[in-house]
Amino acid sequence: MKKTSLAFIDTETTGLDCQKNEIIELAVILTRLNLNNSQWELETTEEKDWKIKPSRLETADPRALKINGYNEAEWLFAPDLKSVMEDFVRQISGYVIVAHNLIFDWGFLSEAFRLAEVKDNSSHIKLDTLSIAYTKLFNQNINSLSLKALAEYYEIKNEKAHTALADARVTKSIFCRLMNLNEIK
């Protein structure tokens, strides 16, 4: 694990049902663990995010579109799902995936891989900051383990919440706090 590289991911979607709704924004932050003066540091090596042209807006939940800031103009020249998933799978190859509420994100990503006919070659090891927070903060005075609640608990600002890259950055910061790692941008 000490030589493992981590890929922090986040999705923004048109609703909560991965069979009916779709990913409209995807981000990944690639990192590596370094040992520096007996302290573990998590260093960001690359960040990437994509807007994805939706193909099923008729099934979108209007509330999800509003929360995620969808507007036709910003997505006008967005790439299609297949090209994004091909690029994404190249990015995450060899990395351990980390997400907040992994089941949600990976459900949508699995469906996206299937629809785009792109082979998922990601690591079978995936970490969920929601599960880690549950075990680490079990006896703490915290009412929720949502990304927003954990960011508030750790005093991490997220001025662009519900954008994939901003939420992936917050997930990375929460992971560092939970695992007592120093964070290097």
Predicted pLDDT at 34? 85
Q: Please write the tens of the pLDDT for every residue from 16-27.
A: 999 999 999 999
Q: Which residue range forms the structural domain that includes residue 12?
A: 5-180
Question: Are β-strands 23-36 and 126-128 bridged in parallel, bridged antiparallel, or unpaired?
Answer: unpaired
Predicted pLDDT at 40? 86
Rounded Cα–Cα distance for residues 29 and 40 (Å): 18
Q: Please write the tens of the pLDDT for every residue from 66-108.
A: 999 999 999 999 999 999 999 999 999 999 999 999 999 999 9
pTM: 0.95
Is residue 56 a part of any domain in this protein?
yes
Is residue 155 a part of any domain in this protein?
yes
Is residue 147 a part of any domain in this protein?
yes
What DSSP designation does 78 have? P
Contact yes or no for 147/177 (Cβ under 8 A): no
Number of domains composing the chain: 1
Predicted pLDDT at 46? 97
Distances (CA, A) of 147 to 35, 66, 96, 111, 129: 27, 18, 20, 23, 9
Is residue 95 a part of any domain in this protein?
yes
Is residue 110 a part of any domain in this protein?
yes
Which SS3 state, helix, strand or coil, does residue 79 take? coil
Nearest of 46, 47, 40, 29 to residue 3 by alpha carbon: 40
Residues in the chain: 185
Report the CATH number at residue 96.
3.30.420.10
Is residue 185 a part of any domain in this protein?
no
Decide: residue 24, CB within 10 A, 0-12 exposed, 13-18 middle, 19+ buried: buried
Across residues 41-49, what is the average pLDDT?
Answer: 95
Percent of the chain having pLDDT more than 90?
A: 85
Rounded Cα–Cα distance for residues 137 and 120 (Å): 32
Predicted pLDDT at 181? 87
